[in-house]
Amino acid sequence: MLKELVFTHLGKKDPDLILGPGIGQDACLIRFGDRILVAATDPITGSIEDAGWLSVHVNANDIATFGVSPRWFLNSIMLPETSGEDDLAKIMQQIHQAADSLGISVAGGHTEITQGLDRPIIAGFMLGLTEPGKYVTSSGAETEDTIIMTKTAAIEGTAILASEGRKYLSEAISKDLVENAIQIRDSISVVEEGITAFQTGHVTAMHDPTEGGIAGGLHEMCDASGVGFKVNLDSIPLHPSTTEICDILGVNWLNLISSGCMLITCSSAHAEEVVHEIEKKGVQATIIGKIVDDSTTRLLVEDGEYTHVKRYDSDALWGALKTLNERKAS
C-alpha cells in the first residue's frame, strides 16, 4: 500500500535528499551544507496519560537509530473539545521534562482544539545533525549478520496498557505488577544504546520497532535491507509484567508496539563486543538471531520448530485497548 499510494507521490526530486521515504526507514537524511540533517516524525495516538512524554522519546529514538544525537523537537498538539488548560499544561510539562532529560530543545510547534477527538493526538518532529558518512541506516543488514535486541519486547505497549487500565489490571493481576509495568516506560529511550552501538564501528543496521512490535520491526528492517531473518523466540527477552498483561488481555506481544528496544545488526565476529559495550552502559542486550540471504525467509525458531512470522495489518495495542475498555465498562 505504501509503495502504491505514498511513495509514488513525493513531490519534486531534490539532490540534497540523500535518504527519503522507505519501508523500515526511521528518518530521512538531508544534505545541509557540509553537514547531514537527520529528520524524523512520529505521532502519539494510543496514550492519554503519557502522550507528551512519549512524543519526545519515540521521535528521539528514530534519530538515535542512525547513531545520531537528537537535538531539536517540534510538535503539533491536537486536543479534544472537552480539554481544559490543565490538559495542555500536563502535556507541555511532560514534553519539557523528556526533552530536558535528553538535552533536546523544543524549537517550535502548534496547538489546537480539534473536533471529533476522544483523546489528545501529538504529531512530533525531531531533528539531529551529523557529518557525511557518520551514520547508519536500517537498510544495511547483511547476510550472516547477528541480530541484537536491547532491553525487552513491547515496552511502550506494556506501559500504555498498564497506565490506561491501571485500576482494572491491578484487581485482575496485582497492583505491584501493574505499577512495575507503568514504570518500565522510564526505559523507553534508546538514545544511549543507539549512540553506543554506533560508536563501536561494527553496526550495519539499526531499527526502532514501534508500530507492529518486534515482528513488524524485524520485517521492516529486512524489507529495507533486502534480506531475511531467523530469530529464536525463546531468546527474545520479556518483562514479567508484559507476559501477564498480554495473557489476561489476549494480546500477542510480538505484535505490540515496542518503542524502548532497539534492533541492531552487526557482523557475527563483533556481536559479543557490541553487546558488551551496550551492557557497560547498564542496558540489557541480547543476541536473538541472524540475518539470512533469502529475503522471503522470515522465521521464528521454537524448540527446533520453524514458524513463519506473520505480517499484521495493525498493532495489537488497538485490540487490547478495546478489550480493556469493554472490561472496564462491564
Residue with cell string 537524511: 29
- Tell me the mean pLDDT in the region 261-270: 97
- Whether 75 shows a pLDDT value over 90: the answer reads yes
The single-letter code of the amino acid at 260 is: G
Residue 79 corresponds to which cell in the numbers above?
A: 486536543
- The share of the chain scoring above pLDDT 70, in percent, equals 100
User: What tens digit of pLDDT does each residue of 302-329 get?
Assistant: 988 999 999 988 899 999 999 998 888 8
Alpha carbons 72 and 70: distance in angstroms, whole number: 6
For residue 24, the model assigns a pLDDT of 79
Residues in the chain: 330
**According to the CATH classification, is domain 146-329 in 3.40.50.720?**
no
User: What tens digit of pLDDT does each residue of 21-74 get?
Assistant: 988 788 999 999 999 999 999 999 988 888 999 999 999 999 999 999 999 999
Distance set, CA 15 to CA 24, 32, 34, 39 (Å): 22, 11, 14, 16
Query: DSSP 3-state assignment of 298?
Result: strand
For residue 309, the model assigns a pLDDT of 94
For strand 263-266 and strand 285-292, is the pairing parallel, antiparallel, or unpaired?
unpaired
Residue 49 corresponds to which cell in the numbers above?
A: 496519560
For residue 22, the model assigns a pLDDT of 85
| pTM higher than the cut 0.85 | yes
- Whether 330 shows a pLDDT value over 80: the answer reads no
For residue 30, the model assigns a pLDDT of 98
Alpha carbons 83 and 166: distance in angstroms, whole number: 22
User: What tens digit of pLDDT does each residue of 182-230 get?
Assistant: 999 899 999 999 999 999 999 999 999 988 999 999 999 999 999 999 9
Terminal CA-to-CA distance of the chain, rounded, Å? Answer: 38
For residue 1, the model assigns a pLDDT of 74
- Whether 78 shows a pLDDT value over 90: the answer reads yes
Best CA proximity match to 148, nearest among 270, 54, 30, 254: 270
Q: Please state the CATH superfamily assignment of the domain spanning residues 10-130 in this structure.
A: PurM-like, N-terminal domain (3.30.1330.10)
- Tell me the mean pLDDT in the region 133-139: 95
- Whether 129 shows a pLDDT value over 90: the answer reads yes
Predicted confidence band of residue 111 (pLDDT cuts 50, 70, 90): very high
- Given a contact cutoff of 8 angstroms between Cβ atoms, the answer to whether 160 and 257 are in contact is yes
Provide Rg for the chain, Cα atoms.
Answer: 19
DSSP 8-class letter at 261: B
Beta bridge partners of 121: 78
- Given a contact cutoff of 8 angstroms between Cβ atoms, the answer to whether 294 and 191 are in contact is no
User: What tens digit of pLDDT does each residue of 274-288 get?
Assistant: 999 999 999 999 999
Query: DSSP 3-state assignment of 196?
Result: helix
For residue 304, the model assigns a pLDDT of 87
Best CA proximity match to 141, nearest among 194, 224, 204: 204
For residue 95, the model assigns a pLDDT of 98
Residue 326 corresponds to which cell in the numbers above?
A: 469493554
- The share of the chain scoring above pLDDT 90, in percent, equals 87
Distance set, CA 250 to CA 125, 159, 313 (Å): 33, 16, 17
Q: What is the mean pLDDT of the chain?
A: 95
For residue 296, the model assigns a pLDDT of 96
Distance set, CA 66 to CA 22, 60, 329 (Å): 15, 11, 43
For strand 121-130 and strand 28-32, is the pairing parallel, antiparallel, or unpaired?
unpaired
Q: What are phi and psi of 252, to 5 degrees?
A: -85, 105
Structural domain spans, the chain: 10-130, 146-329
- Tell me the mean pLDDT in the region 130-142: 96
Query: DSSP 3-state assignment of 63?
Result: helix
For residue 43, the model assigns a pLDDT of 94
For residue 278, the model assigns a pLDDT of 98
